[in-house]
Amino acid sequence: MDTATQNLASRGTSDELEQKRLALVRLQDAWAEAFHEGVDADCLAQTSLFLALAELVSTYGEDATAKFSENLPAKIRNGEFSVKISRQ
């Protein structure tokens, strides 16, 4: 289990954890393929964040997404997103 999967595995039911694991594997594969095709890593990161936030807004609305996003600086500083991403 890699570090990103371990971070995701820290909370949720077994079904939720399996969904997160599968989503993470698929996204890592897509990221690696795009990187291999020459897409810049910074471009991938910014586009991924945009799509993720757009999906959260679509699902939960602007206010709930903004409230969720308020916690991101502390989570970043606490190392919750400090993972080594494999680039194949």
pLDDT of residue 1: 43
24, exposed or middle or buried, with CB in 10 Å at 0-12, 13-18, 19+? middle
- The structure's pTM equals 0.69
Q: How many CB atoms lie within 10 A of CB 32?
A: 15
Q: CA torsion sign, 15 to 82 to 50 to 56? A: positive
Roughly what angle, to the nearest 10 degrees, separates helices 41-60 and 62-69?
130
Q: What does residue 31 show for φ and ψ, rounded to 5 degrees?
A: -60, -50
Q: For residue range 29-51, what is the model confidence (pLDDT) as tens digits?
A: 999 999 999 999 999 999 999 99
Residue 12, pLDDT > 80, answer no
**What does the pLDDT look like over 42-88, one tens digit per residue?**
999 999 999 999 999 999 999 999 999 999 999 999 998 887 655 55
Query: Would you state the pLDDT for residue 83?
Result: 73
